[in-house]
């Protein structure tokens, strides 16, 4: 059977015997729903596990709305008009509302970025600021040992509302929910303490209830107090498919369940060989972006199996810290040890690749120089077909194969 994978602006083709093929993963069909504005209105009108927001707030109270910065696809500008109307219906004045962009450890944003993220109306009517890790209020320490130091504007508000988009997160399980508060509005020390747990096996995409990193986030959120959330699930084209509002945990879980209906695919067995791609340009421009497909593929491969990662990576590694970690590490395992000592954005993706290498061989089909690929602890292959031939030669002619042509968008789950 001939399979095709996006590779930059071109295609890689592979011939797989049908007797070896477990299947090919694609996202489930998107159910027909309301338009974006109607779906936001429905969620605010029908909150999960909570009264309506207009019934929670009171005149004279200060409100902090926490949302994502420019590095995340949360469409804040689309939800703010109706969210503001709901707050005004509860008697809250515009001058008592602050929109806080949760920077985590990211850079400060420009006024123009604030305007674009917030949308013209919100930018005009309320105060818009970045979170500030240097001006925080302490709420103590979680049972996991993470300091809960939160940006003062958020900490001292009478009411806190968290916005976010829900997608798979490869160590927090899912994005959204309390993650806006911690690590979003916290400090580098908190991020280091929380994110250093990413090396634990339970800290992976699609894992919630048994994920200590996610539980730490939600314990911190409970210590601060979150009055209401409004989260969305987006299509691959960044359109709102589903909105959930209400209780920080119950509404978040409903959004996660909807995401699973679309992108979590059950498998009857794990594969010996996984062929995986991001789907071509622009998602495979560099290894930093292509890593997302690799991280999803790890859930489908047997221990000792082979993942064939197909991505052009024509622009190289793609991020300075990631490149420094990958090119200076003496061994792959040293990257896992390093992330436990010092969590650093960019470095965390290098550690994530190393964690996959603890379980499986990773062959890379790319435009990168073969010797350079070897220096990254990966095995270079000139084509997807050559990589598959190598895998069969190593694992035997009866090896079972799984195809993931859009690996960044599908999360396999072996029953």
Could you read off the pLDDT of 301-351 as tens digits, one per residue? 999 999 999 999 999 998 899 999 999 999 999 999 999 888 887 899 999
Q: Pick the last residue of a domain from 188, 218, 234.
A: 234
Domain presence at residue 239: no
Residues 282 and 214 in one domain: no
Distances from the Cα of 110 to the Cα of 84, 114, 116, 299, 359, angstroms: 23, 6, 10, 39, 43
Domain presence at residue 69: yes
Q: Pick the last residue of a domain from 234, 253, 284.
A: 234
Residues 402 and 279 in one domain: yes
Residues 336 and 193 in one domain: no
Distance from chain centroid for Cα 291: 12
pLDDT of residue 69: 85
pLDDT of residue 152: 96
Residues 125 and 200 in one domain: yes
Domain presence at residue 242: no
Residues 159 and 216 in one domain: yes
pLDDT of residue 341: 85
Residues 201 and 342 in one domain: no
Could you read off the pLDDT of 219-248 as tens digits, one per residue? 999 999 999 999 999 887 788 999 999 999
Residues 281 and 397 in one domain: yes
As a three-state string, the secondary structure of the chain is CEEEEEECCEEEEEECCHHHEEEECCCCCCCCCCCHHHHHHHHHHCCECCCCHHHHCCCCCCEEEEEECCCCCCCHHHHHHHHHHHHHHCCCCHHHEEEEEECCCCCCCCHHHHHHHHCHHHHHHCEEEECCCCCEEEEEECCCCCEEEEEHHHHCCCEEEEEEECCEECCCEECCHHHHCCCCCCCHHHHHHHHHHHHCCCCCCCCCCCCHHHHHHHHHHHHHCCCEEEEEEECCCCCEEEEEEECCCHHHHHHHHHHHHHHEEEECCCEEEEEEECCCCCCCCCHHHHHHHHHHHCCCEEEEEEEEEECCCCCCCCCHHHHHHHHHCCCHHHHHHHHHHCCCCCHHHHHHHHHHHCCCEEEEECCCCHHHHHHCCCEEECCHHHHHHHHHHHHCCCCCEEEECCCCCCEEEEC
Number of domains present in the structure of the chain? 2
pLDDT of residue 30: 78
Locus of tokens 């690929």: 373
Tell me the whole-structure pTM to 2 decimals.
0.85
Q: Can you read off the two tokens belonging to residue 141?
A: 């320490």
Beta strand 147-151 with 136-141 is: antiparallel
CATH number at residue 389: 3.90.226.30
CATH number at residue 74: 3.40.50.11440
Residues 222 and 314 in one domain: no
Q: Pick the last residue of a domain from 186, 212, 234.
A: 234
pLDDT of residue 378: 98
pLDDT of residue 19: 97
Full domain range(s) for residue 21? 2-27+265-414
Residues 80 and 227 in one domain: yes
Domain presence at residue 331: yes
Domain presence at residue 97: yes
Residues 94 and 227 in one domain: yes
Domain presence at residue 121: yes
Phi-psi region of 17 (alpha: psi -120 to 50; beta: other; left: phi over 0): beta
pLDDT of residue 301: 97
Domain presence at residue 211: yes
pLDDT of residue 108: 83
Q: What is the mean pLDDT of each run of 10 residues along the chain (415 residues)?
A: 94 96 89 87 98 98 94 89 98 97 83 93 96 93 96 97 93 94 90 87 92 97 98 87 97 96 92 96 90 94 98 93 96 94 87 96 98 98 98 98 92 90
Contacts 24+ apart (CB under 8 A), 39-44: 39/240, 39/241, 39/242, 39/243, 40/78, 40/79, 40/82, 40/230, 40/232, 40/240, 40/243, 41/82, 42/243, 43/230, 43/243, 43/244, 43/245, 44/82, 44/83, 44/86, 44/230, 44/243, 44/245
Residues 22 and 78 in one domain: no
Residues 17 and 82 in one domain: no
Percent of the chain predicted with pLDDT > 90: 80
Locus of tokens 């940006």: 151
- Note whether 100 and 151 are within 8 A (CB): yes
Domain presence at residue 259: no
């Amino acid at each position: 059977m001939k399979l095709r994978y996006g590779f930059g602006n071109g295609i890689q083709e592979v011939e797989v015997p049908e007797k070896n093929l477990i299947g090919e993963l694609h996202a489930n069909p998107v159910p027909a729903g309301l338009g974006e504005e109607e779906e936001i209105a429905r969620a605010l009108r029908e909150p999960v596990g909570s009264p309506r927001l207009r019934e929670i707030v009171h005149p004279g109270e200060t409100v902090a709305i926490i949302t994502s910065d420019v590095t995340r696809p949360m469409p804040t500008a689309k939800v703010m008009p109706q969210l503001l109307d709901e707050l005004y219906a509860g008697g809250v004045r515009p001058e008592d509302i602050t929109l806080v962009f949760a920077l985590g450890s990211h850079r400060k944003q420009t006024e123009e970025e604030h305007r674009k993220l917030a949308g013209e109306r919100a930018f005009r009517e309320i105060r818009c600021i970045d979170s500030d890790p240097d001006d925080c209020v302490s709420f103590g320490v979680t049972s996991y040992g993470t300091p809960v130091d939160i940006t003062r504007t958020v900490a001292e508000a009478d009411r806190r509302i968290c916005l976010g988009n829900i997608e798979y997160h490869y160590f927090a399980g899912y994005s959204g929910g309390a993650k806006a508060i911690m690590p979003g509005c916290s400090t580098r020390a908190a991020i280091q303490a929380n994110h250093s747990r990413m090396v634990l096996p339970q800290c992976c995409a699609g894992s919630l209830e048994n994920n200590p990193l996610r539980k730490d986030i939600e314990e911190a959120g409970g210590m601060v107090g979150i009055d209401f959330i409004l989260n969305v699930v987006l299509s691959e084209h960044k359109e709102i498919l589903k909105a959930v509002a209400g209780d920080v945990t119950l509404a978040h879980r409903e959004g996660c369940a909807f995401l699973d209906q679309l992108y979590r695919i059950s498998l009857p067995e794990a594969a010996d060989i996984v062929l995986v791609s991001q789907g071509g340009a622009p998602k495979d421009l560099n290894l930093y972006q292509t890593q997302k497909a690799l991280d999803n593929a790890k859930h489908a491969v047997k221990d000792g199996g082979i993942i064939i990662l197909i991505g052009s990576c024509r622009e190289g590694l793609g991020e300075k810290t990631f490149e420094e970690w990958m090119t200076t590490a003496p061994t792959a395992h040293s990257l896992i040890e390093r992330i436990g000592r010092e969590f650093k954005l960019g470095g965390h993706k290098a550690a994530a690749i190393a964690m996959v290498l603890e379980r499986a061989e990773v062959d890379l089909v790319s435009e990168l120089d073969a010797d350079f690929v070897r220096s990254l602890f990966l095995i270079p292959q000139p084509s997807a077909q050559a990589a598959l031939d190598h895998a069969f030669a190593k694992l035997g002619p009866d090896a079972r194969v799984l195809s993931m042509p859009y690996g960044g968008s599908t999360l396999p789950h072996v029953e």
